[in-house]
Amino acid sequence: MGCFGGDPGVPDEAGMPDAGMPDATTCGFTCFDASDERPLAQQIKGQLDSVCGQADGCHGGGAGNLSFSPSHDFTAIIDVEAGEMPGMVYVKPFFPLDSYLFLKIRCEGGIDGGCMPLGSPTDPARVALFHAWIEAGAPTQ
């Protein structure tokens, strides 16, 4: 569908508890480009490569002890403790609100340091894409 939302704790169509984000039909900002038929992992890798991991991007240079290069895989972020927030992991599959990377991109609190991407306004489509990816279990293929 390309959107997320609903009541916290209520299973979604896949039987997973909803993360409790606002309902897409009422707030109108939670949909990502559902016309992009590439697997979520490819869409996320594209975001990480083009926005985060460029030589002039923060994590192309290793900011926050997190580096991305065009050849990266997801091992640096899935179930890996967040350098800025001990006790949290960057990506906790199925649980966007327990994933530090999602909180940094969503930029609504619960983080240390700046929002991501640094210096950019929050992009609702990017927030929705990362939410969908993590809620789907953070697939790597």
pLDDT digit string, tens, across residues 77-136: 899 999 889 999 999 999 999 999 999 999 998 898 888 887 788 889 999 999 999 999
Cis peptide before 117 (omega within 30 of 0): yes
Query: Residue 19 burial (CB < 10 Å; 0-12/13-18/19+)?
Result: buried
Identify whether 37 is part of a domain.
yes
Domain of residue 123, residue span: 24-135
Identify whether 43 is part of a domain.
yes
State pLDDT tens for residues 34-78.
Answer: 677 889 998 988 888 776 656 666 665 566 667 666 666 788 889
Identify whether 12 is part of a domain.
no
pTM of structure:
0.70
Overall number of domains in the chain: 1
